[in-house]
Amino acid sequence: QVQLVQSGSELKNPGASVKISCKASGYTFNTYGVIWVRQAPGQGLEWMGWIKTNSGNPTYAQGFTGRFVFSLDTSVSTAYLQISSLKAEDTAIYYCARRSSTWYSDYWGQGTLVTVSS
């Protein structure tokens, strides 16, 4: 069965970096893109961008350039989201999901809570 399993919760100090993993199984990894979505406390879902798993080419939404990096390790069917220079406002749940050719996401990771606090 298709699964996306994300790494566990993180507590980070401001200015630190975090790298979240999203391990896919149950399908051919490079046939679907991977999207990343943020949900800040009390806020809605926000599309961060996506990465083409057959090329590694990332696309970032406005507001998610510079400190946010999408990457892959196709040998282990895993996508990564790295956030550098963390700020308190990066505190959120981050979700990965697989992206179909018609832009829907039928399978999602369970979410990773990142808390940025000193």
Partner 1 sequence: QSALTQPASVSGSPGQSITISCTGTNSDVGSYNLVSWYQHHPGKAPKLIIYEAIKRPSGVSNRFSGSKSGNTASLTISGLQTEDESDYYCSSYVGGSTLMFGGGTKLTVL
- The contact set with partner 1 (CB under 8 A) reads 35, 37, 44-47, 49-50, 59, 61-62, 93, 95, 97, 100, 102-106, 108-111
CA distances from 14 to 29, 44, 45, 97, 102 (A): 33, 23, 23, 27, 37
Q: Least distance (Å) from partner 1 to the CB of residue 54? A: 14
Q: Least distance (Å) from partner 1 to the CB of residue 60? A: 9
Q: Least distance (Å) from partner 1 to the CB of residue 45? A: 5
Closer Cβ to partner 1, 58 or 78, answer by number? 58
Closer Cβ to partner 1, 75 or 102, answer by number? 102
Q: What long-range pairs does 40-44 form, CB within 8 A, spacing at least 24? A: 40/89, 40/91, 40/92, 41/91, 41/92, 43/92
